[in-house]
Amino acid sequence: MGIKTKQALVFVIFALAFAVLNSNAQSLVPALITFGDSVVDVGNNNYLPTIFKANHPPYGRDFTNHQATGRFCNGKLATDITAETLGFTSYPPAYLSPQASGKNLLIGANFASAASGYDENTAFLNHAISLSQQFQYFKEYKSKLEKVAGTKQAASTIGGALYILSAGSSDFLQNYYFNPYLNKIYTPDQYSSYLVGIFSNFVKELYGLGARRIGVTSLPPLGCLPAARTLFGFHQSGCVTNINTNAQQFNKKINAAATQLQQQLPGLKIAVFDIFKTLYDVVKSPANYGFKEATRGCCGTGTVETTVFLCNAKSPGTCSNASQYVFWDSVHPSEACNQVLANALILQGISLIG
């Protein structure tokens, strides 16, 4: 991270902290509402008949009380850290969990489901919660919130909440690249256009129910994930070049779509969080960020391990200090890397808070 970036981050964090201390509210936004995949899932998949779960050791070993909550990480997710920075003293609950009731709903909810995506078939193949079903749960949440807080307060919460959407990775890594049918009818570029069309419609639906502050993540450098290196081989850059190229094509399209949505929908604030550049920089220059290992995950051999398969309490070779690793398992960042990503989210998303 460059000196100017560090200075900007320090300034932003101090400004946010000052704003929290000098406001009557406990946080800068009334609620945090999250949709998407395993990068932001805080435990919804614990309640589904799917293999894509992280409710077992060593997941969560560095989290509060060393608890495996369902987060695909050794500790906090980037969204957890972002919530803390915004002034939240607890995390919005996984919507399918028993905690998602009563006053706990006042600070938002998390609808994300590991192995879900923009494409309905991605969730269907992986027994995850599709994005359309996540939206239906959000409508249900809105009704529950009205009963808890009253119609007027609920409307204020929905309108002032920060919405975060993280999807697309599973569409490529767990669907497109292994699906002969999709490969036959779509080029990667065409599939990106299809996914971004779904994204645009999703934002319009959220907007129709009152959402006005929406942050969406770009695709990360998928070709630099340890699992991708293992499954697809790597090139001179140390990453799978064509997969990264596909991710960049998708990112250009989603940025263009976000710009168009902001122009079309009055009062909408929308930001695309560029996690591709941030994570790519970390992978290429890990020492600059305090990491020693960027090519494999901490769990097991770090080359293919994720979920209960291979990344479990009996996985041989799991590292003792995950803070030295960019990746926790072969797909997901460590808590230390999530801190770097959260810093980027805060800088890039400051326009959503004002």
Q: Provide the pLDDT for residue 142.
A: 99
Residue 157 falls within a domain, yes or no?
A: yes
Measured in degrees and rounded to the nearest 5, phi and psi for residue 240 equal -85, 105
Q: Provide the pLDDT for residue 24.
A: 47
Binned at pLDDT 50, 70 and 90, residue 236 comes out as: low
List the one residue out of 264, 251, 271, 252 whose CA is nearest residue 347.
271
d(CA 234, CA 107): 43
Whether residue 150 contacts residue 163, with contact meaning beta carbons closer than 8 Å, is answered with: no
Would residue 326 be called left, alpha or beta, if left means φ above 0 and alpha means ψ between -120 and 50 degrees? alpha
User: Which residues does the annotation mark as catalytic?
Assistant: 38, 329, 332
Whether residue 332 contacts residue 73, with contact meaning beta carbons closer than 8 Å, is answered with: yes
Residue 296 falls within a domain, yes or no?
A: no
List the one residue out of 164, 165, 93, 173 whose CA is nearest residue 126.
173
Residue 185 CB: number of other CB atoms within 10 A?
10
Residues 6+ apart with CB under 8 A from 255: 218, 272
The predicted model gives 229-256 an average pLDDT of 91
Determine the distance from the C-alpha atom of residue 204 to the mean position of all C-alpha atoms in its chain, rounded to a whole number: 20
Range of the domain at 155: 3-222+240-278+335-353
Q: What is the DSSP string of 100-154?
A: SSGGGGGGEEE---TT--SSHHHHHHHT---HHHHHHHHHHHHHHHHHHH-HHHH
How many domains are there within the chain? Answer: 1
Residue 2 scores a pLDDT above 60: no
Q: Report the DSSP beta bridge partners of residue 271.
A: 215
Q: Provide the pLDDT for residue 316.
A: 85
Residue 251 scores a pLDDT above 60: yes
Residue 209 falls within a domain, yes or no?
A: yes
d(CA 118, CA 195): 6
CA distances from 169 to 54, 125, 246, 350 (A): 18, 14, 11, 25
Residue 354 scores a pLDDT above 80: no
Residue 267 falls within a domain, yes or no?
A: yes
245 three-class SS: helix
Residues 6+ apart with CB under 8 A from 349: 162, 215, 271, 273
Q: Provide the pLDDT for residue 280.
A: 98
Residue 116 scores a pLDDT above 90: yes
Angle in degrees, 0-180, between the axes of helices 131-149 and 151-160, rounded to the nearest 10: 140
Residue 119 falls within a domain, yes or no?
A: yes
Residue 94 CB: number of other CB atoms within 10 A?
25
Q: What percent of the chain has pLDDT over 90?
A: 84
List the one residue out of 248, 130, 253 whose CA is nearest residue 261.
253
Residue 80 scores a pLDDT above 70: yes
Q: What is the CATH number of the domain that holds 188?
A: 3.40.50.1110
163-214 pLDDT per residue, tens: 999 999 999 999 999 999 999 999 999 999 999 999 999 999 999 999 999 9
4-29 pLDDT per residue, tens: 555 444 444 444 544 444 444 579 99
Residue 162 falls within a domain, yes or no?
A: yes
The predicted model gives 225-251 an average pLDDT of 90
Whether residue 161 contacts residue 213, with contact meaning beta carbons closer than 8 Å, is answered with: yes
Determine the distance from the C-alpha atom of residue 12 to the mean position of all C-alpha atoms in its chain, rounded to a whole number: 21
Q: Provide the pLDDT for residue 235.
A: 65
Whether residue 165 contacts residue 138, with contact meaning beta carbons closer than 8 Å, is answered with: no
Q: Provide the pLDDT for residue 302.
A: 72
Residue 253 falls within a domain, yes or no?
A: yes
- Averaged pLDDT of the chain: 92
Residue 286 falls within a domain, yes or no?
A: no
Residue 267 scores a pLDDT above 90: yes
305-349 pLDDT per residue, tens: 566 567 888 888 899 999 999 999 999 999 999 999 999 999 999
Q: Provide the pLDDT for residue 17.
A: 47
Whether residue 232 contacts residue 243, with contact meaning beta carbons closer than 8 Å, is answered with: yes
Q: 174, exposed or middle or buried, with CB in 10 Å at 0-12, 13-18, 19+?
A: buried
Residue 64 CB: number of other CB atoms within 10 A?
11
